[in-house]
Structure 1
Amino acid sequence: MSELQAAKVELAYEQPFFASLLMKRPIKEDRSIPTMGVDRRGQIFYNPEWIAKLSRPHLKFVLCHEVMHVVCMHLTRRGNRDSERWNIAGDYFINSFLSTSGLGTVPEGGLFKEGSETKTTEEIYDGLGQQDDQQSESGGIGQGDELGGDLLERGEPLTQTEAAEEELRVKLDIADAARNARERGRASGSLLRLIDEVLNTKLRWYEILDRYFSGFTEENQSWKRPNRRFSASDIYLPVNDHEPSMGTVVIGIDTSGSIGDKELSYFGGHLNAILEQCHPEKVYAVYCDDTVSHVDEFTQEAFPVELEPHGGGGTDMREIVAWIEEQNIEPDVCCILTDGYTPFPESSPCPLVWAITTDEGNPPCGDVVRIDMEA
């Protein structure tokens, strides 16, 4: 096993967020670059002679460094800024962020300025003065920065449409990687905050939700239903479905009074568009204030789902999770619409997504999607 492959394997255990993104991107040998770099389409390149000199911890660090350029979308955010200085600003942010997030130390020659992780790349760029241009804390620009010049602006620039498509692809990949890291319990608080900031400010909430549902569809479409020709013999074989399908979905609705007809109509419209693509076998709409007040069941024949308010008392979304356990059902995913003013469960028997209409609430389990009613 090569050192590069070994580093990726270790990251899969230690840092599943970064490993997930690395697995989705080509990593190609390129002796024309001095160290490592990433291009506009998120492809990562490396000079084998340079990485051979790195220790395993430093190799893992620089792999995460390149992934962070993708996460931060540094190549699409540059605009008309000076490319060299922008690269330096990005390196300051990334190296400080990774270091303070417990991913190791910056390799010798890498740029580092304490506190850079608390600023945006734009703020760091604006703060670079003439002294920084001539001599950074780790050496001259392009000289002391071992990873300088790793934003590879090769070939023709992306068109506006291509750039938008690439940005969307990155956001959806980040959502997938974030879910994986949360499920594994291996994501620092600073990383989760960065992920939430990127997703909540750059990607429409229903695009994130669509990716979650589609992910479960892809995993379950072949094996969810038994082939009845063999069921009498206790032989379980997959059905060759011609379209994606998933099993059971639970939609939890906060009916404490703060979620009204407008919110239900808006959420339901986007939700039905997502369900239409995923073809779940059954959907439970579970209405809850401080207790489960009403449950509707929908099958594929009954779509679209119509959400209606029931209840109107206090708020305790833990009751929806308790209802799932009491009913002994095994949904592929539960999505709860709430304003966030509620106690949250400490754990969930199934994958859980919170669709929250405010900035309130920090659930200890599940993934959070913030709903912008204007988007």
Structure 2
Amino acid sequence: MNPTIRPLTDDERRALAAARLVAVESAPYLAHALFSVRPVAAVGLDTFAVDRHWRLYVDPASLIEWGPLASGAVLVHEVCHLIRDHSGRADSLPGPVDHSRWNYATDAAINDDLIAAGLPLPEWVVTPAALGLDEGGVEEAYYASLSPEPPQTEVGCGSGAGDPQQAWEPSLDDPQTPGLDDGQVTITRRKVAHDVRDAVAQGRGTIPAGMARWASDELRAPTVPWRKVLAGMVRRAAALTAGRITYSYTRPGRRRLPRIITPAMRAPRVTAALVVDTSGSMTEGDLNTALAEVGGVIKAVGGTVRVIACDAAAASARQVRNPRDVKLIGGGGTDMRIGIAAAEALKPTPDVVVVLTDGDTPWPEAPTRARLIAVLTREHGMSRVPAWARAIHVPAA
């Protein structure tokens, strides 16, 4: 049964305010997010949930039954779905998303942190131990480890957690219950990440390891708009722009016309290989910046990329879907030509080779078969990049 969406009554607002006070006292570094969500009543929901536009759906019966302590902990849980961008990360999972499995994976990752921080979560919450998983893991790793689940019939934690959008969710610009737009969401996440980082640096309270890791990743977000860059450099990548598709005769379409073969709709994907400079001249800031751009490319291509660590020799290519999977092996001299050659030798051949380097390297004299993008952490190396390649300066973190 679909819940009934309406504004909160005065009594419900007071009960939610008490729960939010508990939440802020338990996790003060989340205060900005806790006061940024837009609460509405969802009568009959039997839980709390969030949508992609940062609306918080509160079932009044659950709010009263749980009381301020448990409701405050659940409120922190729902806000964690939003700041960790579980909806956007669900969109980047390979293949059709198993929403039930993703819901278990994200709940386990969040609750693992909240229990470690001492929040009074209800006894029935999902934990890594309950799923037979190790503590301290990340959502994508939990998702990969879990067995496929039957499609869920309940709401889960809402579209803001990566569940399907519900028919009863208002539109972004609904006049009665307006949500946050993408710009407001980005600003809010960055503010919370700074607050978490400051709390860690000042030793205020117990910051869960997963929360600290998220803040570090958020503040190392990629600078390059990879979706636009890749689309502009490779003609087949035009479909990376939202809503862009093309026709293909490699597979017949479902439409049947007499004596006519119709094409099927196809959404082409660009294939990219990354060469990461791991020579001795790359500082920790250079490497952190490179890893942030790896994450940007992964999100742009919508899946996994092949990454080659290279100094004066190229390591074996690794298929990665998270920057944390990159193994930075090296520390010697610098010759990105070797890494570029190794990338072009991969099968299938990549459309684009992205080199992440400080720029202190020789470059190929002749144009490469794949389009070459040089991302440099130091501006002085820009003049060395061949004219036929694309050079982008991204200052080191």
Q: TM-score range by the shorter chain?
A: 0.3 to 0.5
TM normalised by structure 2 equals 0.43
- TM-score, length of structure 1 as denominator length: 0.45
